A and B are shown apart, each in its own frame.
Chain A
Amino acid sequence: MFGNTVRRILRFAIVGQIACASAALAAEPLKIGVILPFTGPYAIYGTKILNGAKLYLSQHGGRIGDREVELVTADDTGVAPELSKRLAQQLLIKDKVSFLVGFGLTPSALTVAPLATQAKVPMIVMNASTTGLTRKSPFIIRVSQTQPQVTEPMAKWAIENGVRKVYTLVADYSPGHDSEKQFTETFTKAGGEIVGSVRYPLNNADPSPYLEKIKDANPQAVFVFLPPGELSIAFIKGFKSRGLEAAGMKLFGTSLTEEAVIDATGDAAIGVITASNYSEPHRSPENDAYVAAYRKAYGEDRPNYMSVAGYDGIALIARVAETKGTVVTGQAFMDAVKGISWASPRGPVQIDPETRDIVQSVYIRKTEKVDGRLENVEFATYPGVRDPQDR
């Protein structure tokens, strides 16, 4: 609003002269609106995803095709749906962005979906992970993952490797409920038994009562979904210190040991088995280059599944530009995107032509110490995984 005006005046004052002269020559910059939480409890989502998106651009001279790219960032503070909606509207009307990308959490993506439909602007979801999100508008594409998508391979691997009795513990909110449902479904259908399940309140500071309960039940393994952060860290530490590991129990998860929290979790994370679509030590020329560039650009900050989604979201736009050019209507972009596949740092990926959700390999990893660093080392791959709830 006023800020925009202020910004414009400032920009005009500084670069006005040059811009006027060259405006006729250079094409208008390609504007991409980025809506993510940069403050509040989910600030890490915004930071990591934007890091990935910026990395792709800096590797390509800040351009897609012949056009300079401008990322217009907006902070939706996490779960504040009305704010996300307002920001999206502002990006569409005032900044006239050609793409809306980001979306850390499901509510923010859901409120923006009708705007994408109306404006016919492609909306690339880079994190929000609820099943069926892409069905909310024909202009949504998801390049991250869904909770069932990474949970199903975990359950399959467990059963294939002789685990029969599992206790599930999930955070008591929708993503947790989805994980619990998926794991139970896949695991019991294949002949496994869920010996107990518990839901973990998000405002919980102390995992001890749950750890003691699981210890009493003495399952072969525990499947855990907790949002990566202090909850997951305290749980993993307790799992080790209370002797659950020593009693022979295994700890399974999905994002439990992702790179943003693995160092804070410390050596207690060693031995945890997780399923995920991205691991930093993944071996491929694409990922080697990606990780090297990421470390060069951001130093100690580690790339994770979020930053790769940010990276791939921009890569997807660039990939379409290769065939269709950089001036495409939203509809033409959506047509071109369906079924498109490329080599991501995480491995081969494809946009499902039907659901516009991402199809990707899911890796089973074990946390190990490699050269003094904690890493999620991949040892089994489930290729071409779709969201089992939305096939």
Chain B
Amino acid sequence: MTIVFDGIALGMLLFLISVGLSVTLGLMNFVNLANGAFAMLGGYVGVLLVNRWGVPFLGALALSTLCSLVVGATLERLLYRRLYAASHMDHVLFTVGLIFVSISLAAYFFGSGVQVIELPAFLQGRIEAFGVGFDSYRSFLIVVAIAIAAALQRILTSTRFGASLRAAVDNPRTARGVGIEVDRIFTITFAVGSALAGLGGALGTQMLGLDPVFAIKYVVYFLIVVIMGGPGSIRGSFLASMSIGVFDVVGKYYVPELGAFVIYVLMLAVLVARSRGLLPKFGGRS
């Protein structure tokens, strides 16, 4: 059972670092491969605040999320905005360019070594209950991920903002016509996507480490989670992350010889069986 708990926690970590891409790709139709760069930004801000300046962990988490939010909003206003009408290919080229720049900047300012945000004492413990070992850091990951998934789901499906966003994505001209501030909505959505990535980056250093190639290292994971879940579907990403986490950990425990193959086999099985992802949004636009 400890294994299943660990798997869920791993899944939640994957969800946290990938959900930003699900938001930008699925809701704004923008292939933001630089999601990892925003995650890295959150991570390095966290390292700076906690390890160097001794800011309390939770405060640093909030600040690094905020920092990614602000940088995301700024870049959206300055650059991303010009490319909404461009092709996906241009998105790829542009965001890979951003990744390269971010890698260099990170190496320049923080060096190429691995860093990890120091955890506070209350996240370092471990509780054994009902024969299951609950790691407090992992429990924290699960709680945060569930809270975020629930909040996002609620905002998208049952608030005015969510409705306006969906309208703005499906038909920006009409949306403008009925008085929706499309530009502002896109800026906010993009910034939220970046902020989520930043939060994931700051939370994930314990398992994922943090070095300048972080921006590109986990692109495959983002793609797996988002595409398997169905882009834009928060519940889909959540489900995909969780199944990847559980299958990966349980698979490696019982069949360690399979090792690295577990995740690919799972991917093929899911994708060939459900070609639109686990839970495609709005009846399957992709």
Point out residues on A near B: beta carbons under 8 Å.
Answer: 39-41, 43-44, 46-47, 172, 198-206, 208-210, 212-213, 228-231, 233-234, 237, 241-243, 260-261, 264-266, 301
Contacts and interface: CB of A to CB of B under 8 A. Distances in A.
B140 interface: no
Given A212-B3, A266-B118, A44 B253 contact: no
Contact of B112 (A44, A202, A230): A44
A44 B106 CA distance: 13
9 contacts: A39-B104, A43-B212, A44-B112, A44-B211, A201-B252, A212-B3, A229-B209, A233-B114, A234-B209
Given A206-B249, A229-B209, A264-B116, A212 B2 contact: yes
A172 B209 contact: no
Contacts of B253: 209-210, 212-213
Nearest to B253: A209
Interface residues of B, number: 41
A301 B107 CA distance: 13
Contacts of A199: 256-257, 259
Highest count of chain A CB atoms <10 Å: which of B208, B209, B213: B209
Highest count of chain A CB atoms <10 Å: which of B207, B208, B217: B207
B10 A241 contact: no
Contacts, number: 109
A233 B209 contact: yes
A264 B115 contact: yes
B76 interface: no
B260 A202 contact: yes
Closest A-B pairs by Cβ, 5 of them: A230-B209, A201-B260, A43-B112, A209-B253, A208-B6
B103 A39 contact: yes
B260 A203 contact: yes
Given A43-B212, A208-B249, A237-B206, A201 B259 contact: yes
A299 to B, nearest CB: 10
Contacts of B104: 39
Contacts of B133: 242-243
Given A172-B260, A301-B113, 13 more contacts: A43-B212, A46-B112, A201-B259, A203-B263, A205-B208, A206-B207, A209-B251, A212-B2, A228-B114, A229-B114, A230-B211, A233-B209, A264-B116
Contacts of A233: 114, 116, 209
